[in-house]
Structure 1
């Protein structure tokens, strides 16, 4: 039986809220982040984050306004609500880890404003990649997720893009996209 759209939204919202709460209760007091290399077994057993964003510098992005995370989900892949929730969780963590290492002040601001986030529809991979390039040109944190291919989606398929930063910039880029 196929899940209905409200059920998918419920799962995504619940997973995002739980993740946001857990992440928010452990915001570091220091900006120093120990480096932890990823074990080879971890890389083989999990979905991967796009490495293209590693060179993007979000460290200089500062704000006194609210911050937000938008999760753009590809709707052309036919993912189940559970798969969408898992992929959105991966993207949320990827953005969190990037901000933790490259802009802890922005991360702390996002935490103080309640880890505001929303989930929107993205029509296909080309649309997602265009959004990613636009976000990077604005120095926003933009992390895409590629599926490991063990369940519903072909290995390497880009499923979700997380875009984090000042609300006005993020909404200016994603405000026209329909909510999921």
Structure 2
């Protein structure tokens, strides 16, 4: 075989090797690239879903949980009721004429319950009554949800509770969702002996 023939064969072999190498490299790297591309898309979708969930959570929090207006609390000394025997419970009276949805009602009842507890547990509050709270805890922290039809009814219930030295608080909505600003939504009563609460709420129906 001549020198020229040997050189030609070598050139063809080199070219063939390069082509095969390039083909193998392309086949090996392409699936990795596609896999990475799918992974990136999945991560992007997950991030978008997470952001959307956070936005919805923020909206719900603003609409349902942060809707209590700022107001001065009325501190009622309920220590005179400590000697009254029997079950101790908390009553939550909801106005039905406002047409609040279930989520709104739940949030407003939460405001009332937390504030009633805060009034009776705060060391700086004149309404502080750890003795009554301990009785309430021991009885399982009983609560009852009742309803009244109008603000006038709620005002009368509130006044009656104060006259009996029952810890009381009326939630006034900030008006960011569903109802006008300043609306009295829920009356929280107690914790107090059931026998005393019944003098205020005995005629009311369950929510």
Fold shared, TM-score > 0.5 on shorter chain: yes
Structure with more contact order per residue of length (Cα contacts < 8 Å, sep ≥ 6): 1
SS in 2 for 1:87: helix
Structure with higher Rg: it is 2
Residues 89, 193 of structure 2: 8 Å contact kept: yes
Who is 2:142 aligned against? 116
Q: TM-score, length-normalised on structure 2?
A: 0.62
Residues 50, 145 of structure 1: 8 Å contact kept: no
Ranges in structure 2 where 5+ consecutive residues have no aligned partner: 1-65, 123-127
Q: Is 1:85 matched up with 2:106? A: yes
Residues 49, 145 of structure 1: 8 Å contact kept: no
Q: Of Structure 1 and Structure 2, which has the larger fraction of its residues in helix?
A: 2
The equivalences for 1:81-160 within 5 A come to: 81-101=102-122, 102-160=128-186
SS in 2 for 1:120: strand
- CA, structure 1 residues 49+121, in 2 after alignment: closer, same or farther (shift >3 Å)? farther
Q: Is 1:68 matched up with 2:89? A: yes
Ranges in structure 1 where 5+ consecutive residues have no aligned partner: 1-44
| Number of residue pairs aligned between Structure 1 and Structure 2 | 135
CA distance in 2 between partners of 1:122 and 1:60 (Å): 27
User: CA offset at residue 52 of structure 1?
Assistant: 5.6
Q: TM-score, length-normalised on structure 1?
A: 0.70
CA distance in 2 between partners of 1:48 and 1:66 (Å): 32
